[in-house]
Every structure is written in C-alpha cells, then in structure tokens.
Structure 1
Amino acid sequence: MGEKKEEGRNMRVILFPLPLEGHTNPMIHLAHILYSKGFSITIIHTTHLNNSLLHPSNHPIFTFRSIIPDEAETSGGGGVIELITSLNRRCVEAFRKCVAELVADGGKIGCVITDAHWHFTQDVANEFGIRRIVLRTANISAFLGLLALPALRPNYLLPSSETSLEDPVPDFLHLRFKDLPAMKDQNPHLIDQLLSSIFIQTKASSAIIFNSFNDLELDPLLKCRQLFNRIPIFPLGPFHKQLPLTPQPHSSLSWLNSKTPKSVLYVSFGTLAAVDPHEFLEIAWGLANSTHPFLWVVRPGMVSGFEWLEPLPDGFEEMVGERGLIVKWAPQREVLAHPAIGGFWTHSGWNSTIESLCEGVPMLCYPCFGDQKANARYVTHVWRIGVMLGDKLERGEIEKGILKLMAEKENGEIMKRIKDLKEKAESCIEEGGSTFKSLENLVNFIL
C-alpha cells in the first residue's frame, strides 16, 4: 500500500460538496479519508453560504477553490428544493471555469467527487475527460425511495386521500408513501424534475459512494447494484469513525460529567429544521414533564420569529434547574459518546442517525423533511433501535415517547439490537472488514 500512497500523492482528487452542512460534513470526512490514502485533495466550494466547515484554515492539508454562482433568479420560492435547483443552473459556468484552471495546472486528476445533487457536473466532467464519482450523503434505502418517487407519483399518490399515504410503497415495503419526501409539496413537479436529473446523471457517472456499510443495508445495497448495474458502488461508512476524535472543551461535556450513566436525553434537530413558537413550548413542557435530565441544543433562529430562547415560559430554566441544560451548539460526536447519554431525540438526518447508531444510543425520532422520514422509519421499524413520535408535537405525547425510550434497560431488546449494530459498525472499518475492503477497492479504482 506504501507504493500506492506515493502514487496517490501525485494524483489530485477534486471534491465538490453541496453548501448545506449535512452534506458538507460527510464530504469533508471523505476528503480526510482519501488524503490518508495518499491523494492530493482540492475542494471546490460555492460562496453561496458562509460555511465555516470549509474555511481553509480549518483544513490546511487541502487546497480550496471558491466559485461564485451567477446572480440568483428573482422569482421562485425559498425552499431547499428551489435552492438546489437554482444552484444547479447558476454554478455551471463558474464550476466549468474552475475545473478548466485545475486541468491547466497540470498533474494527474484521478476523479471529481460531487454530491449527488450536483447533477450538472456530469456534463462538465465529460467535457474534460474526468471521471465523476457521486457521493450520496444519505442512506441507501432513502436514496432508492427518492429515486422511485417521480415514477410512483402519477400512478399511486392521491393527495386527496389520507389513507393512501399509509400504504406501503411498491418494492419498498418497509416504507409508506408518507415516508417519502414532499408528498403534499405545492410544486411536486420541481422535486420530480430534480430527482429525475439526479437519477439520470448518477447512472452516467463512473461510481457511487455511500456513507453506509454492508451489515446495515445489505438488501438495499443489492437492489442499488441491480439498478446501477454498470457502475461500481462503494459503501464506505461510517465515515466519521475512520477519523480521530479531537476533544473539544464545552460546557455541555462538563455538565454531563455530573450525571449518572444512561440518564440524560440529548435533544438536537440538526442545522435546518425549524419549529414554530407553539411547538417550541410543547417541546419544553414535554421535556420538563418527563422528569429526565436533558441536554437541549436550540440553534439561534430555530424558533420562527425569535432569536433564541425568548418563547420559553417565564422561569422555565429556573424551574428545571440542574436537570436541564440548553445550549446553542454542542460537539455531537463527543456528546453521543458520553456515558451519561441514554437517548437521542433527533430529526433523523442521516449524519445524526449513523453517529447515534455508532455510539449505541437509541433514538426518539421526529423527522421533518426530505429523507429524514425514511431514515426514521428504518430506525424504528426495520433496525428497531428507536421510538417514533407522532405527527404533531404535543407535550403529552412527547413525555410518553421520552419515558418509553429512557425506560429501555441495558438488556432490553432495543439496546441489544443497537449494541449489535454498533459492533458491526466498528468491525467493518477494521482490517478485513467490508468498509476496509471497499475503501481499498475505491483507491485502486481511482489510481
């Protein structure tokens, strides 16, 4: 492998993450993994979002190139689907120019790895004769469900019928129609158009990488290999477990040190989910009424119309006292690995899901949008390592869900299953494991 590493140092791999934190994080992790295998890493990023994850000073071993998207269109909505659709139009020329400059610099370019949502990049890669590898930052099961959506919608989905949304999806019997994204989206045509473009350009790519592993999603992996039968698929997850954990001093960790093992519920809804003031109140009272200690991450601006904790009832923090801690941010990997954590109330984003699984922490799932609903369904009904909250945030249901999750004993069925998956996640990255072999195959493929 030493010779390959030296060969890789003379070979550049270009990575192009989507400018959303849940997509950027795994791309950065992948960049570190590939750097450890000897490749020279260049990251192209947009200036669309001020993303500290991509600040060059945080990653001095990488080369960074920023591109400026064309001016935004004046029409259209402001949702995530609209944003991604718009960026795929506005980044074409800037990305092409950046790749042309990198080609002109000389040296071998092994491939360009782009987020699956950057579907326009396939044409640019073809133009310069560079192989494009697609990174899908969500799990394999949700990806397959998403790709099936445009074909399913006209034949099966009846927006006026509530009962039809409870039906199983054909060929995806673990998922219901309500678990697929945007079932009642005001512009289903836009998401179908985006998904169709992603599917077509993924089939045209040279390979696919997933942040997942064989033992977690073997059947979906086999189905994915049938669907994309011309191109290799590399399940390289869990990404984060292949990187060293750098301890970060934080008040939440000091607070956790004072709690008994498995006693604390960690609550975090990711970087995009928003709640209205009424929902925020219901969450607060549900946490308070459960009587369990809790660590609650409330992002500034997470509550619509407010800066931070203004909607909390007067005296709430004093009433909860040392039993609860509310912070703006917490080092999630360290928190989930802390012995005091007994459960994780999550929005079911894939990064959070796989981080919780890898630490053996069962989940209370309240998915918000996108692939989160499919992730939550797999957590609660396929892997059976968590509890699903109802469709509405109501303090009584929240309290009930917390009590059910936190009552799980060390030898309970949920804990047995999640411990088994944690062990499989750890063994797959060791020498001879499925992810270890898959990474070796990817290195050979790029070289």
Structure 2
Amino acid sequence: MLKREMEEHDGRRPQPLVVLTSSPFHGHMTPTLQLATTLHANGFPIAIAHSNLNPPNPSNHPSDFTFLPLSDNLSAVEGTGGFAKFINTLNNNCKGSFKEHLTRLVNEGNKSIVVIYDNIMYFAGVVADDLNLPRIMFRTTSAAFIPALLLRQQVRQHGRFLEEDFVMQEVVPNQNLLRYKDLPFSKTPIEDWKQNVANYSQQAHPSALICNTIKFLEHESLTQVHNMLQVPVFAVGPLHKLAPNLSSGSCQEDTSCITWLDKQPPKSVVYISFGSLATMETKMLIEMAWGLAKSNQRFLWVVRPGSVSGSEWLELLPEGFIEETRERGFIVKWAPQKEVLAHFAVGGFWSHCGWNSCLESISSGVVMICQPFIVDQMVNARYVSYVWKIGLELEWVERGEVERMIRRVMVDEEGVEMRVRVNDMKEMVKEAVGDDGSSQKSLEDLVDFILSC
C-alpha cells in the first residue's frame, strides 16, 4: 500500500477494474504481472487477459485476480513465418475474444474499467478505444528504445541505410550516441521490417504511458518520449523491486546453483544467461566455452535447452570442457536470476541485455558483459557500455576475445572502476523505490491517474 492511503479518496468513487494484457513472452509477462501485483496492493481489482500460449499460473497470484484467456490459436512462436508475422497473427487472433471479455465485464456492471496493455498486444488499445475505455500503454523496454525505434523507421523510410552497408559502426547523423548497428531490427529482412511498421501503425494513441524504468537512469529519454506522445509518462521501475516476491512461474528454476554459489569467494563468479528467447549457433557455444575455460574464472552458466538449434542440452559442448572446468564451473538449465545477481559471490553478468536483466543487474550492483541479440538489446547494450559505463560490449564471440573480456570485467582495474559506478547506481535505485523516491512518486501519480479515469 502506498504511504498515501487509498482512504484519501473517501470511498466515494469505486476502484476501477484494471484489465492488463500479458504477452506470451517471459520478458514481457513478468513485468506485466509485477505491475498488476503492485496496483493490486494499492486497492485495485485486477484482471489479466493472456494468450493461451505460455499462460500465467493463477496459483502464483492473489486469489482475487481474474484471468481472461484469449483465443490465440497458436502453439509456438516458431512456424508462423517470423517474429513480425507472429505478432500480427497473435493480435488478429486475440482481438475478438478480448472484445468479448470487455463487453461482458461492462454488461456485468463494471462501469469503470481501465485497460493497461503491453505494446506488443496492441489490439487491446484498439478495442479499448472502440469501447471508449481509458487505455494505458505499458512498455517493458527501456525508454531509450522508443525514440530509437522511431529513428530506425525514419532511416529506413528515407533510404539512407541498408543492412548490408559498411556504415554499421558509424554514429547515426544528429546522434551523439547510437550507431547504425545499435538501432532495433537492424538484422530484420525487408519484408519483416514492413510487417513491423504495419503492426505498429495499427496502435491506438494511448491515454498515458507506463515505463518500467527509473528517472535518474533515463531522464532525457523519458522527456523525449513525453514530447513525442504528449501524454503522461509514469516511470515506475524497477518493478521487480516494487513487487519483489512475485514469480511468473513460466520457467523451472534450478536453485541448486545457490548452494554452489554459497561456497565461492565474494565477487568471483561470472554469471552467464541470455534470457528465454535467444538462440545461437554451435560455433558460438564452443567459442564461449573455451573462452570461459581459458579465462580461468569461476562461472555459473545458464544453458537453456533448445538455445542451440538441434541440441537437447549439453551434448554440443566441446569435448573436455566440462572436465577442465568442473572445479570452478556450474551449468544449469534455468536459474533464479534475481537471487543469483544479489548473491555475494557474483561479480559479473554476461547477458543478452534484455531490459529486465539490465535493471536486475543495476539493482544488484553487478557489472555486465553485453552480448545483444535482437530488437531493444542493442540499444540497452550501448547505454550500459557507452553511457552508464557499467559494462563492456562483446563485439564478436571468439575464445580469445571472450577470455580477455571476462578478465577485464572480473580481474582488471577497469572492472573495479565499473563496479564502483554500478554500486553507486544500486544505491540510487534503493532511493528511487523507497519512501519519497521518484519511482514511488510516479506510482502515486499513476494511481491518481487511474482513479481520475
């Protein structure tokens, strides 16, 4: 409950029902459910509209949450003709059942409904607009990604840049930060890019925007987003700190790694995890393995089954690797990441730079090795390595370069200096989510905004 109790509103207005849409992706679903839990703690009744693909587990949430399944007719992300076409199919298939749910809720007497929708589930904003309901977009990416996405579209539309051009390392004109290679969808085929543009052009203009970020971290980007959209923007992150006990339950965590970490020296372990979606070639896995071995550093490595095409789990690791690193390495299929990053033994995080992972790493004071794969991860990696200077970007995966990167972060003076900076940011996160902090104030403003709807 917020410090300013809900009783201030005298009970004269009923709490509106907040309907949140949850996309099937772990990195989007988790913060959406964290936001739902945070709003529920502030007195709002909650309904979660979710696809049948990777649905949330109701047993992990308050018993008075209402779950509204959507008819997506999808069994997997693969097999739909690429990510952009998957998103298009997901939205087309879910729109009808979402409208039916909202219409039924209105007919049952829920006169006050506010829809909060993941930007990937843009059909929800369109339906809310059709029914004259307030619609708040929720961005699970960094705020910096939003103008970067617009910039990417402008560059492509103006014909100033093609993926095969040699200018990938050059800074985008009128930008003192982002290179062409950092822009989202830089590896997307032309037809997929056109589908992405078509998808986002269908979005209804939101009544407000919620960002899972922190003002001190992205003040300039938040101002830029506000100027773009001309609606209230609420920076209420990091949500894993505002709803710290929530588990999405979508992946089975192996907690045995915590017992192993307990036996390691402070700040001695590099933790490697590329999230729930990233895939790699066998060659990359082999180069990673030998780079880890040559670095002579302790490591905890999440190797997700299926992350290498055609593999069951560890059978593609190079011969002799497990034997050579047995005394200083530990491999799991999935780890309790927030607990791992908060552990005293962890001194570095080799990450795909998904936004949740970046926030969790900063909140725990852990420096990063950045290896982005898709979409917003390139923007995040650029900010981590170039702006905030709390990590290094791994430009190519080759065993010698991997060895050097790990030692720079874990052993060299460069890593010590980054650790000082990220520890300062960790304290700033504590202030932001504490009483009178910027994120708590934004949450209070969000609550008032929802009530005003």
TM-score > 0.5, shorter chain as reference: yes
**Paired position in structure 1 for 2:399:** 395
Kindly tell me: are residues 293 and 151 of structure 1, through their superposed partners in 2, closer, same or farther at Cα, counting changes over 3 Å? same
The answer to whether the 8 Å contact 1:9/1:39 transfers is no
Alignment gaps of 5+ in structure 1: none
Q: 1:27 to 1:406 in 2, by over 3 A?
A: same
| Alpha-carbon separation, structure 2, partners of 1:343 and 1:411 | 9
Distance of aligned partners of 1:251 and 1:127 in 2 relative to their CA distance in 1, 3 Å threshold:
same
Q: Shift of the alpha carbon at 1:118? A: 2.0
Distance 2:234 2:201 in 1: 17
Q: How far apart, CA to CA, are the structure 1 residues paired with 2:298 and 2:6?
A: 49
User: Does the Cα contact within 8 Å between 1:10 and 1:107 map onto a contact in 2?
Assistant: no
- Cα 1:172–1:106 change in 2 (3 A) is farther
Task: Output aligned runs, 1:43-442, within 5 Å.
Answer: 43-47=48-52, 49-51=53-55, 54-61=56-63, 62-69=65-72, 78-155=81-158, 156-162=160-166, 164-186=167-189, 188-195=190-197, 197-198=199-200, 201=203, 204-229=205-230, 231-245=231-245, 250-390=255-395, 392-408=396-412, 412-442=416-446
1:9 touches 1:38 (CA, 8 Å); kept in 2?
no
Q: Match of 1:244, as an amino acid?
A: P
TM-aligned CA distance change 1:375 to 1:225, over 3 Å: same
Q: CA–CA distance in 1 between the matches of 2:14 and 2:300?
A: 43
Q: TM-score under structure 2 normalisation? A: 0.91
- RMSD (Å) for aligned C-alpha atoms: 2.4
Is the contact between residue 5 and residue 37 of structure 1 (CA under 8 Å) also seen in structure 2?
no
Q: Which moved more, 1:3-12 or 1:171-180?
A: 3-12
Over 3 Å counting, the alpha-carbon distance change for 1:76 and 1:19 in structure 2 is: closer
Q: Is the 8 A contact 1:262 1:339 kept in 2?
A: yes
Deviation for aligned residue 1:190 = 3.5
What is the one-letter code of the residue matched to 2:427? E
| Worse-matched range after superposition: 166-175 or 380-389 | 166-175
Write the deviation string for residues 225-253 of structure 1: whole angstroms up to 9, x where unpaired: 11112x10001011001123479881100
Q: Percentage identity across aligned positions? A: 42
Q: Relative to structure 1, is the Cα distance of residues 307 and 6 closer, same or farther in structure 2, using a 3 angstrom cutoff?
A: farther
Query: Aligned residue pairs: how many?
Result: 438
Q: Structure 1, residues 310-366: CA drift from partner, whole Å, max 9, x if none?
A: 112234222212200000111000000000000000001000011001100000010
SS at match of 2:120: coil
SS in structure 2 at match of 1:166: coil
CA distance in 2, matches of 1:97, 1:331: 37
| Change over 3 Å in CA distance of 1:305–1:37 after alignment to 2 | same
1:371 corresponds to which letter in structure 2?
A: D
Distance 1:347 1:11, change over 3 A: same
Unaligned runs of 5+ in 2: 248-252
Q: What amino acid does structure 2 have at the position aligned with 1:235?
A: A
CA distance in structure 2 between the partners assigned to 1:284 and 1:315 by the alignment: 10
Is contact 2:18–2:44 with CA below 8 Å preserved after alignment?
Answer: yes
- TM-score, normalised on structure 1? 0.92
